């Protein structure tokens, strides 16, 4: 009973955290009236207090405002890259699953090779090819996440392909493309939607890592990874500059993982 209560409470906290971060991204003005780019030489490296709950950075900018406005970029990159990887992964995975065995085998060998490498390493390689920049960061982390979606979409397609209603539709002479759109893709989206919920956290971490290395947006853009990078040399004298962006990154990733796993268990329960 206690364990169930703790799990339910953790799920509620995680969901509320994600709602708060989403509101920050969509309507940052609801949380702070301050300009995240405004500097004040009289307020340099002020510790957290009533006027600046997250303190200020080395140019006197309010860290709370920068963290709040940073949610729009970090969450936007994470959600956008995940959505793109999901859509492309469904299309490619479905086509591979419906393709002849030779095409399926060759395509999946390539996917398995990519899956052998960490996603962040693939993102680094992609950004090296594309070049630094905020748009290229989103593209790079989306490319890095793509192989996992292709594999799951292909596996689900093979399961649905052998089901009775799909075999009946094919036996009636229904066009393969119509079968895929009407029956295969909708059933593939259910498990992939759960994976995408967890994947948003992964892409946020990957994008923050690229920004931390200086390969994403540049100062004064209020992006969480860039804020973390800017505070790494100030930990001894101004711990808050790196601490609060790190808390938001960690909290978002953990919350997305908790919600995603709960959705996956619910889906498995319905299947069984």
Q: Dihedral of CA 234/240/245/246: which sign? A: positive
Q: Indicate the length of the chain as a whole number.
A: 272
**Helix or strand run (H / E) with residue 87:** helix 63-98
Residue 233 in domain:
yes
Residue 5 in domain:
no
Residue 41 in domain:
no
Q: Residue 169 pLDDT > 70, yes or no?
A: no
**Strand, helix or coil for residue 14:** helix
User: What's the structural domain count of the chain?
Assistant: 1
The enclosing domain of 121 has a CATH number of 1.10.3720.10
Residue 37 in domain:
no
pLDDT in the model for residue 164 = 65
- Interval 235-267: pLDDT, tens: 989 999 999 999 999 999 999 999 988 887 776
* Structural domain for 200, as ranges: 61-271
Residue 9 in domain:
no
Q: Residue 270 pLDDT > 60, yes or no?
A: no
- Interval 170-219: pLDDT, tens: 666 666 667 666 767 777 777 888 889 889 999 999 999 999 998 988 88
Residue 68 in domain:
yes
Q: Residue 271 pLDDT > 60, yes or no?
A: no
pTM of the model: 0.86
Task: Please say whether the beta carbons of 48 and 67 come within 8 A.
Answer: no
Residue 106 in domain:
yes
- Interval 2-52: pLDDT, tens: 677 777 888 999 999 999 999 999 999 999 999 999 999 999 999 999 999
Residue 27 in domain:
no
């Amino acid at each position: 009973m206690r364990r169930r209560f703790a799990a339910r409470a953790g799920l509620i906290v995680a969901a509320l955290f994600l709602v708060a971060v989403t509101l920050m991204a969509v309507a940052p003005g609801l949380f702070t009236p301050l300009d995240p780019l405004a500097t004040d030489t009289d307020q340099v490296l002020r510790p957290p207090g009533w006027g600046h709950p997250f303190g200020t950075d080395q140019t006197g900018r309010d860290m709370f405002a920068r963290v709040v406005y940073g949610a729009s970029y970090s969450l936007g990159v994470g959600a956008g890259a995940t959505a793109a990887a999901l859509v492309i992964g469904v299309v490619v995975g479905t086509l591979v699953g419906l393709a002849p065995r030779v095409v399926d085998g060759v395509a999946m060998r390539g996917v398995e090779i990519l899956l052998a490498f960490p996603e962040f390493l693939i993102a680094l390689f992609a950004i090296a090819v594309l070049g630094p920049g905020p748009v290229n960061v989103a593209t790079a982390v989306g490319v890095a996440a793509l192989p996992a979606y292709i594999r799951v979409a292909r596996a689900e397609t093979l399961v649905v392909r052998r089901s009775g209603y799909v075999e009946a539709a094919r036996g009636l002479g229904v066009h393969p493309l119509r079968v895929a759109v009407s029956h295969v893709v909708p059933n593939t989206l259910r498990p992939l939607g759960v994976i995408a919920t967890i994947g948003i956290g992964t892409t946020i971490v990957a994008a923050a890592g690229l920004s931390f290395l200086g390969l994403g947006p540049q100062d004064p853009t209020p992006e969480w990874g860039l804020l973390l990078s800017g505070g790494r040399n100030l930990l001894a004298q101004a711990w808050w500059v790196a601490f609060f962006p790190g808390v938001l990154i960690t909290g978002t990733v953990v919350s997305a993982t908790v919600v995603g796993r709960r959705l996956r268990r619910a889906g498995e329960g319905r299947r069984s």
